Structure 1
Amino acid sequence: MNTKVKLKEVYEVKQQYKAFYTGGTIVWKPDAQQFLCLNNGTISIVSVDNLHEPVALGEQETDGEIAEDVIYTFAVSNTGNSIVSGHRSGLLKLWDGEKHTVQKMWKTVHQGPISRLVFSPTDSVIASGGSDSTIRLWDPTEQVCLGTLRGAEGLINVIVFHPNADSKIVVAVGDDTKIRAWDYESRKQIKTFEGHFSRVTGVSFSEDRTHLVSAGRDKILILWNFESQQAVKTIPVYETLESVVVLPAGLRVGGIKLKKGKVYAACGGEEGLIKVWEMTGAKIIFKQSNSLVAKAAEEGGLAITHLFYSEPHGRMAVVSADHNILVHDCENFDYVHQLSGFSDEILDLILFGKRDQHIAMATNSSDFKVYDVSTMNCRLVKGHTDIVLSLCANDRYLLSSSKDNSIRLWSFTEEPFTISCVAIGLKHTNTVGCVTLSRQGGNFCASVSQDRCLKTWKIPKKFTTEEDGELPRLQCSLTALAHEKDINCVTISPNDRLIATASQDKTAKLWDASDLSVVGVFRGHTRGIWAVRFSPVDQILLTNAADCTIKLWSLEDMTCLKTLEGHDSSVLRVEFLTNGMQLLSAGADGLVKLWSIKTSDCVQTLDKHDNRVWALCVTRDESVFYSGGSDSQLIQWQDVTESKRQQELDQRKDTLLQEQELSNLLSERKLLKALRLSLNLDRPLSTLKIVNEVIRTKEQGLEDTVRKLSNDHKERLLRHAIEWNTNSKNCRPAQLALNVLLQETLAGRFQVSELNKHLEASLPYTERHFKRLTEYVKDLKFVEYSLRCMQPHAARMD
């Protein structure tokens, strides 16, 4: 049995999960299978079931620079087959919803940016609202302006077409408090609804199309009679509202069936809750009790920004101010899908589950996120009241720490996945920066805080809820004042006997887990230490610090065994690989490095992050690891060492076979066939010998052979000819090849990249060869002239 451990050499990106929604316009497609989200000036199309490959429309960022013609807003047709986008340049672009290609584009005449776009019920008209207080109507087929609607004030925030396509009415709202309606055929304002005292944020028509419901930041809902323009009911809701949707009769919401003949409106605002009102009776018939949207931090702030209803599926979607998308089943109001559009700064990552099928992520939020790695569907986990900083997990529990000075213990089940908080620890007096669970049995955990204390906590076998309904409290077993400055990291040894801590005071300390007595102190770093890790197999401790180094220490005598240098900035995280023989390190410069401990060499540098990499987590079989950082990217890396080795072996075998075949062809004098094979092997010298032999033997068919070559082979021949052309001995075959290839280019049969560059490289040598040949011709003509002059004298001598 072969027990030799194979070292890893090559990791490649398997999946790269970036932000797909950074705020602004968002649309739920009519089939309820996709969301279209505004993402830093582009449109991202994401599936509600799978986030692996979102589609992007629009100009992408290049090297961190935002594209010039960014998208400000967009709209989706009622059939879902077309998308129209408004750009900084003032262009409107019509996209094919399936192929994601631009079909048409035209220039608008808005004086300033376009703020809103909407399709009419029949998709035959597009309305655009701008910062110039006008609404313009467009025929997407002919790209002509059908008319301009004036009368609104300020930026156009809301545009809604009347659901009855025959009515030709469009409703819009500007920055003022009035709702206006126009007949867009006559382009005349026909109705004005006055009743709000602050900005109107949402407008929705009733199912019978005779009433209108509006919501605003003045904390009121108004039911309007559309024909008489009168307010039928004004309802104070005591919260700033951002969105309102009228629900159809017969729908069951939270177990309550909506009755016919009445108007029901769902609204969302600063409280972060969906509420359903019966508008005529001014009654709340449903109030959400399981919201994952945090209440706005201040009065009038944002919590829920958008609200959608999908009639075919009976589902409702909520978009929160922190860019989360939550899809509910209306009947029981359970969560069906949870998507996170923007993770901000990723602070920690941990894989858990028997098959590492879940990954937990701590970001700049009081909630942490749990993803299913197969679909990347997200689940928000609420509990902490301030930013979650650290995560740790074993087969039974997940442990988290936060800026709210607490740690929380979570129990989870895998199929179906559920997670709930079972206990809380509240003994720290400052931010808890890091937590860890014991390795053997998980019967205790440890935490470190900015109060400079190290604490261990006992985890009981069973948890019982307190009489007042509060969570059970974790019992703090031991406490030690561990360091002189903030403590950044804590970890427990594989046998649970030792605990190691790392601090900003430039030291790491080793503690006896039974009584928290100091076993040893590790000094040597010149700046604060970010993290500490025990080797999985050896008596070795690893530290990484802001002095750009990684150090390995002996646990027997506390001496430094090795220092790894290679990062140009702070080393923020390190993990062991390959039975403790290799390391993965992450730096503040966005680089992830793979190290060999034996040779102290950096085997590979992975450069995909744009900012600090705070988090690394590795699967149990070490075939995959994840990295996350300040650039909001979660990157999945795949070990491809074996496949690369096999690929190199296969390539070497193919090369040997082709070389043997080339040798056979040359020995059989099959020069033109050998030329093609030599180009395939990319051998300039062999190709030169073949062309010289063709010239010497005056074999016919060289031009025809070159014409039949593929574009790649022609480009290789061009590179070879330019290389030969640098030597005067090889100028004839070089010029012959260049002549044939230039004829192919002029005939359009050879498309060469960077033609100017190739010509510039060959032109000076060609001019030199031409000048030398010209001198040879002059000398030859002089010799001929001399011979002619000598012939009469030679005849007289005879």
Structure 2
Amino acid sequence: MNSNYLKESFDVVSKYEAFYTGGNIEWSENGEQLFCQNKDFISIVTISNGTVIKLGKVNKKINDEINSFSISKDGKFIITHHKSSLFKLWSGQELKLIKIWKSIHNGPVSAIALTKDGLSMASGGIDGSVRLWDLKYHVCIHNLKGTVGVVNIVYYHPNLKKEIVFATADDYAIHGWNIKTGLKEMTLEGHFSKVTSLTVHEDGVHALSSGRDKVLILWDLIKKISLRILPVFECIEGAFIIPNTANLPIPKIKTKSSIYAASAGENGIVKIWEMKSGRMLFHQTNSLIPAAKEENSLAVKHLLYNAKDNNIGLVSTNHNILIYTLNKFECKKQLIGFIDEILDIVYLGSGESHLAVATNTSDIKLYELTTMNCQILCGHTNIILSLGSSQANRNLLISSDKDKCVRLWLMDEKTKIVNCIALGIKHTAAVGCVALSQIEIKFFVSVSQDFCLKLWDLPENLSYTGTEVSLNAINTVMAHQKDINSVVVSPNDKLIATGSQDKTAKLWSAENLQQLGVFRGHRRGVSCVRFSPIDQVLATSSADCTIKLWSLNELNCLKTFEGNESTVLKMEFLSRGMQIISSGGDGLLKLWNIKSSECITTLDQHNSRVWSLTVNKDETHFVSGGSDSLLVVWRDVTQEKKAKALALKDELARDEQKLENCLEAKKLKKALRLALKLQKPMHVLHIIEALIRKGDENMTIIICGLKPLYQEELLKCAMIWNTNARNFQLAQLVINVILNEIGLENLQRNDLKGKLESIIPYTNRHFKRLTQLYQDLHFLLYTINNMKSCNTAQKTIEI
């Protein structure tokens, strides 16, 4: 698509937002979907393509947060418990609300479990009670006693014939009750800290539990004793028993009675154990989840297993969901449940197939735009502040963080895997912005809170060798007196521009960092600087809510764009330097025409500061991201809308000609349809009058024969006619036919009932006028009759 024309409108192609913000997460039995708790709704994520369906948010004006939820094993039913103390039963297939009933727990319900057939439910609350529910009648059948403190796990024995439900709470014990009688059958004691997981082996005899006391315990449910207490030397947040038929990444111990278990905890890695012998059989070496920084804290929040595909799912404390194959333990999928505050974004890869996103974490999230599958790039030790890429090599990525370092990344053209190839630590404070050269990959520049501008030399061999090369800063200058917010390299690689909190922007030589000029004029800090792609012009944006254009030759201000109501955080040139797209602290994106200095359009999708903005090479798309954790992909639809408007104009001209021809030929029924299509109320009025005068057609049959769309338009025309005393009779005739013969329920629009209320005052006025007219007519007739009577009487007297 040609990028030379001026753009006027953009449409949202896709929006990527948080689908998991903490709480429970469950995996469908078929392995295709993840059910994730997300504040006041459940996000149903399709793993293959990353699409998200929201379930549970019925009223947008009322926030009724979900405390806990559970799904039946076959996925037919979903149960949610809300802040309003309500249980809600949903259809898992149609995603419709089936039933709502009041919870009788004293406080939020923290854990829910459903039986395999979905007919019974167990709920555990923060009040320490466990209740059993009959979902057929939605009544509580048992209140189970014995737990102390907040109930964090409720779990049905997978063999329903055993008729046992388990629960754990703050007393560190595992309690088991008979679901028919409600009587306690067992209490398993062995943990000395919170129990974090409980699963039962397929033989129905053995069970596995984990806790934050750094042990796994294998239980015999028949004898009600612990068979082995296995120290694992880390707090375990998730564990499960692996089916004997599952393929493992290591050879199994050839014993029929072996019980295998997987666990994950504060170290962020998965370990596989043979529980009876207490041996560790497998230790994950390709973990993408960093270990917890503090002892006894969390790294993994959930450990999931899907038997159908033999896959393992790890959920990190950063809400990242990593799916591994159990047989080879290869990372199959990476999903980002919560993007967090988006600080910077750039396109990456040949054909700009990927999007690198820097969020309020130490990891770079690399999205594949077609599937939104995410690759997490680990290496930084603190929050990443800036990303940079180059048109010369889209496989190269530069990043900087709060820990004073910059990293160089390279994407493999075939595998699309990104690795860090170089590291540089020369700044003495957080590195706020980086920029690569544009024509040739020879250098990059960085700016920091140490007020310095550095020029870095790039390695000659840009390939991944397995080790990180040290980057060298070949030149350094003290560029500003305050924090430097932005740096950019000119399209010809000869100039560098910086913008700072000291309210100035400066121009530098890319050869030796010699200062060439200072741009003064902003009243507050300069947040972004950009070179025009074709002119000797620099654009700057500022916290003073303005954008300024500066001449690189004269160093004077050429234009100032005013109209923003908050800080202009980011901007990019479009249409060969004829337009600018900017983002602000109020969440608005504005498109500016440089020639007229006017804002052409305002785009509103974000509800908070838009920190980042990037445009693809041919300017057909751009992406925005901000502090609302929302990533929005926009598409230029200017030409499409112009073509559509032109086609509509041509069609309108043809229809108007057809209307004139039909009126000339007295084809009134066809003319009526055309006039309604063209939305010409007065033409419709004259055609209705002509049909009535013609008298050879039943008006009711004609109106009932129209399409619902035309009937709605005719009703709207009648509402207009009804405002005029000359045309109200026809209006009342049409309205009467539509209301009595067709009915509003058969029309498509739902807002017609409200609009009909607007005709009532006019109808009352017409009714009063007609009533007064009839009264006057009767009085006149009465007077005439009296006069005739008097005249007759007078003649009689004379005779």
Specify the TM-score bucket, using the shorter chain as the normaliser: over 0.9
Tell whether the 8 Å contact from 1:593 to 1:602 is kept in structure 2 after alignment.
yes
Q: Encode CA deviations 1:392-428: one digit per residue, 9 max, x unaligned.
A: 1232421000011100001111321111111101000
Q: Aligned match of 2:607 in 597, 607, 610?
A: 610
Q: Aligned match of 1:257 in 252, 255, 261?
A: 252
Quote the residue 2:63 is aligned against.
Answer: 67
In 1, the alpha carbon distance for the partners of 2:562 and 2:121 equals: 60
Within the alignment, does 1:87 sit opposite 2:86 as a pair?
no
Q: Encode CA deviations 1:74-128: one digit per residue, 9 max, x unaligned.
A: 2222223332222334443333322222344444433332222222244443222
Quote the residue 2:778 is aligned against.
Answer: 781
The 5 Å alignment of 1:533-552 reads 533-552=530-549
Quote the residue 1:27 is aligned against.
Answer: 26
598-607 or 14-23: bigger deviation: 598-607
Deviation at 1:649, TM superposition (A): 1.7
Q: Alpha carbons of 1:611 and 1:505: their partners in 2 closer, same or farther (altered >3 Å)?
A: same
Tell whether the 8 Å contact from 1:302 to 1:321 is kept in structure 2 after alignment.
yes
Any gaps of 5 or more consecutive residues in structure 2? none
Quote the residue 2:468 is aligned against.
Answer: 471
In 1, the alpha carbon distance for the partners of 2:656 and 2:351 equals: 47
Tell whether the 8 Å contact from 1:527 to 1:547 is kept in structure 2 after alignment.
yes
Tell whether the 8 Å contact from 2:489 to 2:496 is kept in structure 1 after alignment.
yes
The 5 Å alignment of 1:70-469 reads 70-249=65-244, 251-257=246-252, 259-260=254-255, 261-394=257-390, 395=393, 396-462=395-461
In 2, the alpha carbon distance for the partners of 1:623 and 1:151 equals: 64
In 1, the alpha carbon distance for the partners of 2:70 and 2:688 equals: 61
Quote the residue 2:623 is aligned against.
Answer: 626
Deviation at 1:737, TM superposition (A): 2.3
In 2, the alpha carbon distance for the partners of 1:252 and 1:788 equals: 109
In 2, the alpha carbon distance for the partners of 1:85 and 1:464 equals: 51
Deviation at 1:683, TM superposition (A): 1.1
Tell whether the 8 Å contact from 1:672 to 1:702 is kept in structure 2 after alignment.
no
Quote the residue 1:575 is aligned against.
Answer: 572
Identical residues among aligned pairs (%): 44
Deviation at 1:750, TM superposition (A): 5.0
Quote the residue 1:728 is aligned against.
Answer: 725
Deviation at 1:714, TM superposition (A): 2.8
316-325 or 122-131: bigger deviation: 122-131
Deviation at 1:328, TM superposition (A): 0.9
Tell whether the 8 Å contact from 2:250 to 2:281 is kept in structure 1 after alignment.
no
In 2, the alpha carbon distance for the partners of 1:38 and 1:500 equals: 45
Tell whether the 8 Å contact from 1:423 to 1:463 is kept in structure 2 after alignment.
no
Q: Alpha carbons of 1:3 and 1:445: their partners in 2 closer, same or farther (altered >3 Å)?
A: closer
Which residue identity does 2:684 align to in structure 1? Answer: T
Q: Encode CA deviations 1:227-278: one digit per residue, 9 max, x unaligned.
A: 2222222233332221111123464544343543222222111221222233
Tell whether the 8 Å contact from 1:343 to 1:632 is kept in structure 2 after alignment.
yes
Deviation at 1:335, TM superposition (A): 0.7
Any gaps of 5 or more consecutive residues in structure 1? none
Which residue identity does 1:287 align to in structure 2? Answer: H
Deviation at 1:598, TM superposition (A): 1.4
Tell whether the 8 Å contact from 1:251 to 1:258 is kept in structure 2 after alignment.
no
**TM-score, scaled relative to structure 2:** 0.94
In 2, the alpha carbon distance for the partners of 1:3 and 1:412 equals: 28
In 2, the alpha carbon distance for the partners of 1:46 and 1:110 equals: 30
37-46 or 647-656: bigger deviation: 647-656
Within the alignment, does 1:667 sit opposite 2:664 as a pair?
yes
Quote the residue 2:481 is aligned against.
Answer: 484
Deviation at 1:463, TM superposition (A): 6.6
Deviation at 1:696, TM superposition (A): 4.5
In 2, the alpha carbon distance for the partners of 1:755 and 1:4 equals: 43
Q: Alpha carbons of 1:340 and 1:788: their partners in 2 closer, same or farther (altered >3 Å)?
A: same
**TM-score, scaled relative to structure 1:** 0.94
Within the alignment, does 1:42 sit opposite 2:41 as a pair?
yes
Tell whether the 8 Å contact from 2:155 to 2:167 is kept in structure 1 after alignment.
yes
Deviation at 1:583, TM superposition (A): 1.3
In 2, the alpha carbon distance for the partners of 1:752 and 1:411 equals: 54
Q: Alpha carbons of 1:702 and 1:772: their partners in 2 closer, same or farther (altered >3 Å)?
A: same
Quote the residue 1:676 is aligned against.
Answer: 673
Provide the secondary structure at the position in 1 that maps to 2:553. coil
Deviation at 1:33, TM superposition (A): 1.5
Tell whether the 8 Å contact from 2:74 to 2:116 is kept in structure 1 after alignment.
no
Within the alignment, does 1:718 sit opposite 2:720 as a pair?
no
Quote the residue 1:558 is aligned against.
Answer: 555
Q: Aligned match of 1:589 in 586, 589, 594?
A: 586
Q: Alpha carbons of 1:727 and 1:404: their partners in 2 closer, same or farther (altered >3 Å)?
A: same
In 2, the alpha carbon distance for the partners of 1:3 and 1:465 equals: 36
Deviation at 1:144, TM superposition (A): 4.2
Quote the residue 1:635 is aligned against.
Answer: 632
Deviation at 1:610, TM superposition (A): 1.0
Tell whether the 8 Å contact from 1:258 to 1:264 is kept in structure 2 after alignment.
no
Which residue identity does 1:55 align to in structure 2? Answer: I
Q: Alpha carbons of 1:184 and 1:347: their partners in 2 closer, same or farther (altered >3 Å)?
A: same
513-522 or 741-750: bigger deviation: 741-750
Tell whether the 8 Å contact from 1:249 to 1:258 is kept in structure 2 after alignment.
no
Number of residue equivalences = 791
Deviation at 1:168, TM superposition (A): 1.1
Q: Alpha carbons of 1:22 and 1:791: their partners in 2 closer, same or farther (altered >3 Å)?
A: same
In 1, the alpha carbon distance for the partners of 2:613 and 2:478 equals: 28
Quote the residue 2:8 is aligned against.
Answer: 9
Deviation at 1:390, TM superposition (A): 0.7
Which residue identity does 2:124 align to in structure 1? Answer: G
Which residue identity does 1:102 align to in structure 2? Answer: L
Deviation at 1:510, TM superposition (A): 0.5
Q: Aligned match of 1:691 in 688, 693, 708?
A: 688
The runs of 4+ residues in structure 1 deviating greater than 6 Å are: 463-466
Tell whether the 8 Å contact from 1:512 to 1:519 is kept in structure 2 after alignment.
yes
In 2, the alpha carbon distance for the partners of 1:741 and 1:181 equals: 66
In 2, the alpha carbon distance for the partners of 1:691 and 1:702 equals: 8
Within the alignment, does 1:705 sit opposite 2:702 as a pair?
yes
Tell whether the 8 Å contact from 1:250 to 1:257 is kept in structure 2 after alignment.
no
Provide the secondary structure at the position in 1 that maps to 2:652. helix
Quote the residue 2:53 is aligned against.
Answer: 55
Tell whether the 8 Å contact from 1:252 to 1:258 is kept in structure 2 after alignment.
no
Which residue identity does 1:131 align to in structure 2? Answer: I
